[in-house]
Amino acid sequence: MAMSQAAYAAEKAIGHDDNAVTSQDITNPALDRERYGDSSVKMKALAWMGKNTVKVVECPKPKVVEEKDVILKVTGSTVCGSDLHLLHGVVVQLQKGDILGHEFCGVVDDVGSGVTNVKKGDRVVASFQIACGNCYFCKQKLSSQCEKTNSNTIENAMYGGRTAGMFGYSHFTGGFAGGQAEYVRVPYGDVNLLKLPDDVPDEKGLYLSDVLATSWNAVVDTGVNEGDVVAIWGAGPIGQMCVDFAFVQGAKRVIVIDSNWRLDYIKEKYPKAETLDYSKLPRGESVTSKLKEMVDGRGPDVAIECVAGEYAKGWAHYFEILLGFETDTSEIVNEMITSVRNFGRCGITGVYVGFTNHFNIGSLMERGIRLIGNGQAPVHLYWENLLKMIQEGKIDPLKMVSHRVRIDDLEKVYEKFEKKEDGMQKVYVETKFSAPPCTGSPGLTTY
């Protein structure tokens, strides 16, 4: 049994906690066709089938299970860097057949008897996290840390606290079917859905689910101030929107670090941004030495991690991860710590799962570096304001969107997104319920 499934077997043996106010482990309506599904309607969905394998499957449409549920007809979803951690089995406790996808928008198709804020026909976007709306954290809109939607015992023991439940993000975060599907069940629909106004098309509203809120959180939570020099590791969609938001917050210079064509993509969208391709550094140069050279010999004020702990750079960490001596590499975090100026700030938004070796605690302590875990981003804290920014034209999520694809082609899209092929930055995944592409949206690519 692979690691991911073994971890779930352990969870089942220990048993869940009793804190959750919504059912756990409904990761596919086919798990109980009578209780969770409407077998008269079939739908397509993208399911995890084992390490490095996903598949478009057919299963029953989900139905209302609890009174606060909303069933959405999905009109748009996407693939995220986080889905790659699931694909690779790095985020544990996935089971064969679990439906993935934590970023989606759609039209309300059915509501439970306890739902009051949305009604059939409303066009909405969901947050990637499932919040109850009423606990200690939800009252402060810190929705990603809701205490009542995830009862996973191993996560609690390992982290000393839990995150909220999340769509399509393994049993480790509650076990909820995701939205890379034609329909999806949204628990606590009143809390976890935001209505999209007529002037915001799905192709822009969708990204309020995650990317926009996550990048905004990375920038404001780490703390970008007027005149700062900001370095961003990772030129994927999250890193790209961090560039946008760092400039919005008054950064003087933004430097993006990666090793592929994505740097050119960013440069094209933000000519003011500078880039550093670490694969092209001459012998003897490092990201840190280059950043010192680029920024007054001292280094940037702020560093933001938009990569993830699973991507080791050198052989040492590659083997340590492979052999199970650590779950995450410390290379990028160390680079950030040594690169920023003394008393600089480093924020981690890329996903880290567990433990790391060779962490440069000395530099952190001696030079007064502020290392900030940005957390799974609390979408509810920001999404109304970000929606307003889209309406006012202050941000344009379509800058990230390189492809429009069909749900039928998702297996291929995962492969391309993982290998960074075809210039794929962020996709918009349409279903048979989607409207025609809005102005500015890329045309349909089929695989």
Ligand X SMILES: NC(=O)c1ccc[n+]([C@@H]2O[C@H](COP(=O)([O-])OP(=O)(O)OC[C@H]3O[C@@H](n4cnc5c(N)ncnc54)[C@H](O)[C@@H]3O)[C@@H](O)[C@H]2O)c1
- Return d(Cα 31, Cα 10) in angstroms, integer: 20
Size of the site for ligand X (CB under 6 A): 32
User: Of these partners, Zn ion, ligand X, none, which one is at the site of residue 146 (CB under 5 to 8 Å by kind)?
Assistant: Zn ion
| Residues 6 or more apart in contact with residue 97 via CB below 8 angstroms | 27, 28, 30, 31, 47, 48, 49, 57
> Is residue 234 a contact point for ligand X (CB under 6 A)?
yes
Phi-psi sector, 297: left (phi>0), alpha (psi -120 to 50), beta: left
Contact 337, 360 (CB under 8 A): yes
Among 251, 306, 346, 371, binds ligand X (CB under 6 A): 306
| Residues 6 or more apart in contact with residue 113 via CB below 8 angstroms | 67
Stretch that binds Zn ion, among 175-183, 210-218, 410-418, 426-434 (CB under 5 A): 210-218
Residue nearest to Zn ion (CB): 80
Q: Output the 3-class SS for 341-403.
A: CCCCEEEECCCCCCCCCCCCHHHHHHCCCEEEECCCCCHHHHHHHHHHHHHCCCCCHHHCEEE
Contact 66, 112 (CB under 8 A): yes
User: Of these partners, ligand X, Zn ion, none, which one is at the site of residue 258 (CB under 5 to 8 Å by kind)?
Assistant: ligand X
Q: How many CB atoms lie within 10 A of CB 32?
A: 12
User: Of these partners, ligand X, Zn ion, none, which one is at the site of residue 349 (CB under 5 to 8 Å by kind)?
Assistant: ligand X
> Is residue 132 a contact point for Zn ion (CB under 5 A)?
yes
Q: Which x/- pattern over 309-338 shows residues binding ligand X (rule: CB under 6 A)? A: --x-x------------------x------
Nearer to ligand X, 30 or 142 (CB): 142
Two structure tokens written together for 433? 């319920």
User: Of these partners, Zn ion, ligand X, none, which one is at the site of residue 376 (CB under 5 to 8 Å by kind)?
Assistant: ligand X
| Torsion angle of C-alpha atoms 152, 214, 201, 409, degrees rounded to 10 | -60
Among 82, 329, 374, 402, binds Zn ion (CB under 5 A): 82
> Is residue 138 a contact point for Zn ion (CB under 5 A)?
yes
Q: Which x/- pattern over 348-377 shows residues binding ligand X (rule: CB under 6 A)? A: -xxx----------------------x-xx
> Is residue 307 a contact point for ligand X (CB under 6 A)?
yes
Contact 405, 427 (CB under 8 A): yes
The site for ligand X (CB under 6 A) is made up of 80-82, 84-85, 210, 214, 233-239, 257-260, 262, 278, 306-308, 311, 313, 332, 349-351, 374, 376-377
The site for Zn ion (CB under 5 A) is made up of 80, 82, 131-132, 135, 138, 146, 148, 210
